[in-house]
Structure 1
């Protein structure tokens, strides 16, 4: 009996020892798993719970005009987020001390923030009760952005006075456009995070943005900074400043004249581009109607309307240029030696092409004309003859060399390549209409590039906005880090031919169809245009919708400035020579004053 008892006790001991050994084995296995396999994860989790990382946003670079005047700047503002889980923990703890209901405490907190921020109290109260998909109060949910310093100071005072450990304050940035609608579609805009969405803000976003910094500090369980803890701090690198080629005084003159033209003609839009024809620098660019980039959504009903109002049509829209294109046909015919000053033509008022009658705008015809008369009178049948002499292959070659049918390379997003009919699809009738500015479509940027080629001794230069990018060092000294580089320069015409065409353009303004743009003594060279607009269904042309235009520069023999004006669908008079040329006259006069260009032509 005693022996059986000893055996049972021995078995029981082995069982207990076995269980203990098994438990220790599980424990050691678990410790090994945590220390070896899960080490990195647990260390990272511990650090995340004992440290607070804050992104420090860099200051977005400014956009400046050519003289350093600010066009777009960033101001230092703040972002307020709340740890909603800690808000409710705070309310529960305080409730036990004061006897107040937690809901009432949370409501009181919400109302205090609403008063400081100028927000609707009900909106902030609802914010305090937000839960994530798992039904948990989120930690670090943004309550307000773009908060000014005076407001954030009040929030800090409230936080410190009441020991609100759930308040998270971070640096933020806000974009300001000091001149409101001024240059709106060119400057573009940014989103809430300061990322460029359109315009120069988008194209140069990488340069303007900078590099964020970071601050990492040790915190206690209530997310308060621990005293004497080591803080890791990386200074943000602010964005570069973009200095543009825009001359604000010329831009202002263009804005004023475009607005007056919109009112007087009741047009759908008025657009203007002004450049330096020698180097392609864009001195001004206007799109009317426009908007205020400080509040781009004001009065906008939907995304389609928003896209319409913010789009820079000077760059993004293509249209059949009409007679302004005739300078290309004239240049090609002269450069190819198909015509010279001995050329003569008789215009009966129409041309027959493959049995199809194509009328001149002057139905009774211009009669006998020499070469310069074709341009002065804007004679369609005469240019049909020039186009036929050049031929479709060579014509398309010059069209391409002048920059049509492809991207110009302008430093701006959303550029249209335009529409150029391929050579193998050009019929004799197509060649005829192309020669006087129909069938193919071009942007205003492409057209200004073409006339600049004529004024620049036959050398093409790319229209562009960038002058340079610069940054300010720690000592406050400005340093230029890069300047604009021309990449598309090419000789399209010989200098002699280019100068000859420039002279023809001067005759066109002084005694021809562009005479209402004439300013005595300045040698303005230019060409008017009246382009029919295609019907919206794409079948034929709308006989009530026209784009009146004028393109030109001065002085024709030593050009300092070039410009292009388009007036879309003016009411009443619609001919470019009657509608656009007078606008060009007024604008030239203003620009001559601003640039201090003196009369040189007797």
Structure 2
């Protein structure tokens, strides 16, 4: 048996083998970490040491077609904390809470987070930021700082709010164009990388790298700020006078399809979007499908003329009603024009005549032209949420459906669909895609991308011009007389659509007017749609005067010279509308009559509190002014006076009037007053300052004299 020496040697060999195996395993493990995962671990170490701060890219501005800003990015401040550097979170939270208007526990919860960086409050007020900055400079706060932060600003407030939409607190597009073109506007964020130790403190002499942000592109719109102001002021007056649920107005460049102005009411301020009602922010011009009513009739006429099923000389006989599949279809006045031609059918907005045309077209041709006019699919306008109208399914459409659809009921369209279809008639038969984007530019002003709208010829130019002339006759001698503009040939069509709910007819209407000017060679097309006006409800009475004022201002703004009316004398010169506000109804009637105007008074109050057109607007004699009479306002308190209505006055007149009431004035612009703050009728202390905005008299509102129009039932 082996001796003690042999056993000792075996133990030594065993220990050597065990040690060698352990060393080999340790060496292999070290080699694995060093050579196999070395780069990965080095990268992880760098990431642990690196503290990153994002530098937000400036969001690209939005400007109108002349470069005037509508949305821009400005620098604000954010209050942040590095929780690991805050020595006494409870005390810091207690100090900051009353300054920032926050709960101490909310601040404390952020300060106790195991993170390198936390926002305490973003977009603080200037006073809040100044207070925190002072505390930091005095050494009263540790681990708390302020950093610059971008904020989206809409300098014109509510102007074009539904079109622009808004961006959120992180500068992300949330609605409107801000959402639709978000990837072009938001740019690319940069970042700062700094080395920190395990406790989160910056390492002295450590490496710092900066990746600069890339700003977003500048978006140039087809919108014109001046035209947008004209449109929105008209929308405000319209809703104010008619007490409508809502209103939509669109102005479109006939040739290019570019939207020059687009307004929806009620309005909201995108600078404070969180405080607004989502229903108010809804851009119903593209999201809601409604019955178009009689503004659809030019489409039916164009389709029938192009198909050759009728001509301009085709005889019609309108007795006031027609029976289709056992159902009686009546005209709006239950009267017919007797024997006539297509011009009479259009001029009188005859439901019977257009029902006859719809039956002559037949189902296949009628639906073919719905497709051609792009009324069965989206227009492609660059706004989110666009929908498409509805119609009876082709396979189930009956003669009764065709007869009623021919004059704009039973089917639905969006307002933008309807205007784009009528714009094709104005554009000599070429349908063009409506759009808001003109081009994108780089931050240094170079053009990066130009919008190219889709377009196609859907009608022969000859047919389109025939329908244009028929629509001029509507304004000259038909239901659209109140849409006339002195000195210009205006084409248009009235519409009054009945509203239904669950198949049940409601006693509510959508009054509308759509048209274009000048003819021939129209330059702009306009749609006015007023949802559920109170009192008068006909498009010819409610929407046509608004159209007249808008398109008259637009033609003058675009420097389109006046024309002579075809075969007629120059229109009589316009005269200024008298101020009726603050008068009793009896006095208002007397003043309006002496100036040569009619007057329609709404309400039963003792004092006129609003009128349309506004005082100072230039209109033709004989125009029916609309005024609202409400209970007399309570007398102002001691030392207070009522602000007068200054609209339509010159700066000198406004200043003299206010001086007599011991009020001061601050004025912007030149010409006549178009807007004021506080509003007329407000009670203010003496020596208060009234702010007014003036515009040159070259673009006053104009409303043509009304002719005899519908009196009892809608021209559907």
Say whether the fold is shared (TM-score over 0.5). yes
Partner residue of 1:527 out of 493, 507, 516:
493
Asked if residue 278 in structure 1 is aligned to residue 255 in structure 2, the reply is: yes
Distance 1:54 1:129, change over 3 A: closer
SS state at 2:304 partner: helix
Asked if residue 500 in structure 1 is aligned to residue 499 in structure 2, the reply is: no
1:551 to partner: Cα distance: 0.2
1:153 to partner: Cα distance: 8.0
1:160 to partner: Cα distance: 7.5
SS state at 1:54 partner: strand
Partner residue of 1:347 out of 318, 323, 328:
318
Distance 1:141 1:37, change over 3 A: farther
Q: Counterpart of 2:48?
A: 49
SS state at 1:296 partner: helix
Q: Counterpart of 2:389?
A: 418
Worse overlay, 13-22 or 204-213: 13-22
1:320 to partner: Cα distance: 1.1
Residues 450-489 of structure 1: CA distance to partner in whole angstroms, max 9, x if unpaired? Answer: 111111111111111011110123xxxx1111112122x1
1:9 to partner: Cα distance: 5.3
Q: Counterpart of 2:657?
A: none
SS state at 1:309 partner: helix
> For the Cα contact (< 8 Å) 2:320–2:334, is it kept in 1?
yes
Asked if residue 298 in structure 1 is aligned to residue 275 in structure 2, the reply is: yes
Give the distance between the partners of 2:302 and 2:241, measured in 1 at CA: 35
Partner residue of 2:442 out of 471, 480, 501:
471
1:437 to partner: Cα distance: 0.6
Asked if residue 515 in structure 1 is aligned to residue 481 in structure 2, the reply is: yes
Partner residue of 2:343 out of 367, 372, 380:
372
Aligned ranges for residues 171-210 of structure 1 at < 5 Å?
Answer: 172-210=149-187
Residues 69-120 of structure 1: CA distance to partner in whole angstroms, max 9, x if unpaired? Answer: 1111111234444343x14xx53xxxxxxxxxxxxx3222224444665544
SS state at 1:297 partner: helix
Give the distance between the partners of 1:328 and 1:115, measured in 2 at CA: 64
1:23 to partner: Cα distance: 4.4
Residues 207-254 of structure 1: CA distance to partner in whole angstroms, max 9, x if unpaired? Answer: 111111232233344545445544332221100010101111111111
C-alpha RMSD of matched pairs (Å): 2.6
SS state at 2:385 partner: coil
> For the Cα contact (< 8 Å) 1:550–1:577, is it kept in 2?
yes
1:582 to partner: Cα distance: 1.5
Distance 1:495 1:292, change over 3 A: same
Q: Counterpart of 1:569?
A: 532
Q: Counterpart of 1:258?
A: 235
> For the Cα contact (< 8 Å) 1:404–1:420, is it kept in 2?
no
> For the Cα contact (< 8 Å) 1:471–1:480, is it kept in 2?
yes
Asked if residue 216 in structure 1 is aligned to residue 199 in structure 2, the reply is: no
Distance 1:112 1:447, change over 3 A: same
Give the distance between the partners of 2:497 and 2:98, measured in 1 at CA: 58
1:267 to partner: Cα distance: 1.0
Residues 256-309 of structure 1: CA distance to partner in whole angstroms, max 9, x if unpaired? Answer: 111111121111101100111111110111110121111112154xxxxx2x22
Residues 14-53 of structure 1: CA distance to partner in whole angstroms, max 9, x if unpaired? Answer: 5654654454345334423432454344222210222222
Give the distance between the partners of 1:466 and 1:120, measured in 2 at CA: 44
Give the distance between the partners of 1:288 and 1:247, measured in 2 at CA: 18
Asked if residue 141 in structure 1 is aligned to residue 118 in structure 2, the reply is: yes
Give the distance between the partners of 2:136 and 2:22, measured in 1 at CA: 50
In structure 2, list runs of 5 or more residues that go unmatched: 566-716
Q: Number of aligned pairs?
A: 565
Of structures 1 and 2, the one with the larger relative CO (CA 8 A, separation 6+) is 1
Give the distance between the partners of 1:462 and 1:203, measured in 2 at CA: 16
Residues 182-230 of structure 1: CA distance to partner in whole angstroms, max 9, x if unpaired? Answer: 1111101122221111210011111111111232233344545445544
Aligned ranges for residues 308-387 of structure 1 at < 5 Å?
Answer: 308-387=279-358
Residues 516-547 of structure 1: CA distance to partner in whole angstroms, max 9, x if unpaired? Answer: 11122111110010111121x3x2322x1111
Distance 1:229 1:11, change over 3 A: same
Partner residue of 1:582 out of 539, 542, 545:
545
Aligned ranges for residues 232-271 of structure 1 at < 5 Å?
Answer: 232-271=209-248
Give the distance between the partners of 1:588 and 1:562, measured in 2 at CA: 8
Asked if residue 540 in structure 1 is aligned to residue 504 in structure 2, the reply is: yes
Give the distance between the partners of 1:322 and 1:299, measured in 2 at CA: 32
SS state at 1:445 partner: helix
Partner residue of 2:420 out of 422, 443, 449:
449
Give the distance between the partners of 2:30 and 2:68, measured in 1 at CA: 66
Give the distance between the partners of 1:158 and 1:470, measured in 2 at CA: 43
Partner residue of 1:482 out of 431, 449, 452:
449
Residues 297-339 of structure 1: CA distance to partner in whole angstroms, max 9, x if unpaired? Answer: 2154xxxxx2x22221111111110100000011011111222
Q: Counterpart of 1:100?
A: none
Give the distance between the partners of 2:426 and 2:238, measured in 1 at CA: 27
> For the Cα contact (< 8 Å) 2:378–2:387, is it kept in 1?
yes
SS state at 1:217 partner: strand
> For the Cα contact (< 8 Å) 1:322–1:530, is it kept in 2?
yes
Q: Counterpart of 2:573?
A: none
Give the distance between the partners of 1:281 and 1:601, measured in 2 at CA: 28
SS state at 1:107 partner: helix
Partner residue of 1:549 out of 500, 509, 512:
512
Distance 1:56 1:436, change over 3 A: same
> For the Cα contact (< 8 Å) 1:140–1:168, is it kept in 2?
no
Give the distance between the partners of 1:142 and 1:4, measured in 2 at CA: 78
Distance 1:153 1:46, change over 3 A: farther
TM-score of the two chains, using structure 2 as the length reference:
0.74
Aligned ranges for residues 139-178 of structure 1 at < 5 Å?
Answer: 139-146=116-123, 162=139, 166-167=143-144, 172-178=149-155
TM-score of the two chains, using structure 1 as the length reference:
0.87
Asked if residue 127 in structure 1 is aligned to residue 93 in structure 2, the reply is: no
Q: Counterpart of 1:134?
A: none
> For the Cα contact (< 8 Å) 1:59–1:76, is it kept in 2?
no
SS state at 1:464 partner: coil
1:442 to partner: Cα distance: 0.6
Worse overlay, 241-250 or 584-593: 584-593
1:351 to partner: Cα distance: 1.0
1:166 to partner: Cα distance: 4.3
1:60 to partner: Cα distance: 0.4
Distance 1:106 1:232, change over 3 A: closer
Give the distance between the partners of 2:100 and 2:40, measured in 1 at CA: 39
Residues 145-194 of structure 1: CA distance to partner in whole angstroms, max 9, x if unpaired? Answer: 23579976876776677597745766532111111111111101122221
